[in-house]
Amino acid sequence: MKRIDFLQRASAFLGAGFLVSSFSSARESAVILENSPFSLPALGYSFNALEPHIDAMTMEIHHDRHHKAYVDNLNKALIGTAGAGVSLEELLGQISKQPAVVRNNGGGHWNHSFFWKILGPAKGSQPSAKLAAQIQKDLGGMEAMKVEFAKAATGRFGSGWAWVIWKDGKLQITSTANQDNPLMDVVENRGIPVLAIDVWEHAYYLKYQNKRADYIQAFWNVINWDFVSQQFEKINL
Ligand code: MN
């Protein structure tokens, strides 16, 4: 779609005021550059690339079945609606105006697309100097961040996500229920995601069963800090 067509459609759907106020944060957080209909992104590495921390079968089912279902159900739900042809970040910013099926599957598509990029084969990557300094300043350093992040992730009752977000000029830790995320206008703690962990049982149950804390601990071994640092620096240009 030509940009002018998109702006006209988005403007009609969202109202001109929203475009002015929210375009910058939507662009900063963008991990899905297409407008609907959406497609399942490639994982970018093999299913067994995160072994032994996250097992191949979990990755295959998680990506090929769970994530695919979110994409398929989202596309189906948007057909013939005002949300068709709009970017996912724009939809999430006004998700209160959408039905639950778009909230659940739209969140599911964005969250998993982000999660696959955060994860990666262990290559000894480290946070950039700029990100490391911000973690030190706002969260007391890497070890303190891990403790607080694990508390948010284990403390989320049932299914959901834990996040490090950029909000009010600093890094903060939060969590959301189900497939909600900090880009949505319905969550308590809105911000731009920098880091996330999926704590739905489908993300860890085959290998870790009920031991969510062990999975969260293992997660730190398979983070692609190059991507996370880029995400942070994109927000803070
Ligand atoms: Mn999941």
| 42 part of a folded domain | no
Average pLDDT estimate for 86-100: 95
97: domain range? 57-118
Going from the Cα of 141 to the center of ligand 1, the distance in angstroms, rounded, reads 28
| 3 part of a folded domain | no
How do residues 167-184 score in pLDDT, each as one tens digit? 999 999 999 999 999 999
Going from the Cα of 184 to the center of ligand 1, the distance in angstroms, rounded, reads 18
Going from the Cα of 196 to the center of ligand 1, the distance in angstroms, rounded, reads 11
Domain count, the chain: 2
Query: What does residue 192 show for φ and ψ, rounded to 5 degrees?
Result: -100, 120
Q: Quick one: 109 and 136 in the same domain?
A: no
How do residues 103-136 score in pLDDT, each as one tens digit? 999 999 999 999 999 999 977 899 999 999 999 9
Q: Quick one: 134 and 202 in the same domain?
A: yes
Quick one: 45 exposed, middle or buried, by C-beta within 10 A (0-12, 13-18, 19+)? middle
* Euclidean distance between CA atoms 11 and 87, whole angstroms: 12
Going from the Cα of 179 to the center of ligand 1, the distance in angstroms, rounded, reads 8
Q: Quick one: 100 and 146 in the same domain?
A: no
| 35 part of a folded domain | no
The three-state secondary structure class of 184 is coil
Going from the Cα of 79 to the center of ligand 1, the distance in angstroms, rounded, reads 24
Model-level pTM? 0.88
Task: Examine the pLDDT at 28 and tell me if it is beyond 90.
Answer: no
Is 109 in contact with 32 (CB distance < 8 Å)?
yes
